[in-house]
Amino acid sequence: MINNPSHPKKGNLKSKDCKFSAAGVEYIDYKQTDILERFVNDQGKILPRRVTGTSARHQRQLSTAVKRARFMAMIPYVIENLR
């Protein structure tokens, strides 16, 4: 099954590059809400690494920044129509 060329998942893996590493970002700031909102889905959940392609280091910084921005009421915890 491993070497089966007709396996649907085999060969479809695309390597994703970290946008923050490519831009040379050292620290993700919680005050940059326009950037943070790109990594939050329509329900307000933080998107995982496998979806966004961020590195582990930047994903940790991203989640901390989103949580701080939520606490400071810069971005909502949940969208309005889900309440």
Contact assessment for residue 19 and residue 62, using Cβ atoms and an 8 Å cutoff = no
Model pLDDT for residues 72-82, shown as the tens digit of each residue: 999 999 877 76
Contact assessment for residue 36 and residue 62, using Cβ atoms and an 8 Å cutoff = yes
Q: How far apart are CA 64 and CA 29, in angstroms?
A: 9
Q: What integer is the mean pLDDT of 56-65?
A: 96
What are the C-alpha distances in Å from 18 to residues 31, 43, 54, 57, 82? 20, 23, 4, 10, 31
Q: What integer is the mean pLDDT of 47-65?
A: 95
**The tokens of 24 are what?**
């040379």
Domains, the chain, ranges and CATH? 19-82 (4.10.640.10)
